[in-house]
Structure 1
């Protein structure tokens, strides 16, 4: 897991090195997510990197009936992860990332619920790793790592330390 998270750190480092224009102009979350996905593609050879991908093979990515987890469509069924690293045809789901801007003052719970659901091994579309990052203009303001349907405190601390070591997060 640390190998994959190190790739995310490298992609974030490249993102912050090359996307300062977008960060300084305070563009919306979607262009930032797209550009981060471009940098992730360079790190994950043999995997597809997609934004707002709502499929698992031929099936639409939906939460189980009666789930308390909020969704992104008007019918309250489908969810669209910000970024996924996967193999579409198999399907094989490695990594899902939820991205927020630090200027977003909406509650974090929506993204946290999505990551818990997307990494829940009891659901048919489980991703091995979930990452939540809040992007500030100069560095990552906040991060969390999810595995097995819950936040992984040890990996979250490790990931935050890796970001700090590379200058992407304040102490």
Structure 2
């Protein structure tokens, strides 16, 4: 998992090196998500990288009833991850990324529940891992890593430390959402 997370860090580094214009002008999360996906795609050769992708072949990604995660469609069934690293036609889903701006005042629990559901090994389309990244002008202010349908605390701490070492962590504490 650390190999893939190092690729995410490299993508975030390139994102910050190239996209400060967007952050300084407080553009929307969808714009930031797309630009981060461009850099993620450069790191994951041989994989497809998509934004808001809700399919596997012809099937729509739907959460099981009672999963506890809210969804983004009017029927409350489909799920739209911000960025995915996957193979489109087969159930080979490597990574789901949820990106938030640190100025987003909506509850973080929505993104956390979504990553729990996306990495739940009991769903047919489970992703091997999920990453929550909160970005702002000063750097990454918060991250979490998910695996097996839950936060992977040890890997989350490792990931946050790697971001600090790379100079990407915001001056504020990277251990709690703001």
Q: Does the 8 Å contact 1:133/1:144 carry over to 2?
A: yes
The question of whether the paired residues in 2 share the 8 Å contact of 1:16 and 1:138 is answered with: no
Q: Secondary structure at the match of 1:128?
A: strand
User: Unpaired segments of 5 or more residues in structure 1?
Assistant: none
Q: TM-score normalized by structure 1?
A: 0.98
Contact persistence 1:61–1:78 (CA under 8 A): yes
Gaps of 5+ in 2: 174-178
Task: Supply the distance in 2 between the matched residues of 1:119 and 1:67 (Cα, whole angstroms).
Answer: 12
User: In 1, are the aligned partners of 2:67 and 2:117 still within 8 Å (CA)?
Assistant: no
Q: Would you say how many aligned residue pairs link Structure 1 and Structure 2?
A: 171
* Structure 1 moving runs of 4+ over 3 Å: none
Q: Deviations over 1:102-161 (max 9, x none)?
A: 000111110000000000001111000100000111310100000000000000000000
Distance 2:66 2:117 in 1: 13
4-13 or 89-98: bigger deviation = 89-98
SS in 1 for 2:133: strand
TM superposition score normalised by structure 2: 0.94
Task: Provide the residue aligned with 1:165 in structure 2.
Answer: 165
Q: How many angstroms apart in 2 are the aligned matches of 1:20 and 1:135?
A: 11
Q: CA RMSD in A?
A: 0.9
Instruction: Map residues 106-121 of structure 1 onto 2, 5 A cutoff.
Output: 106-121=106-121
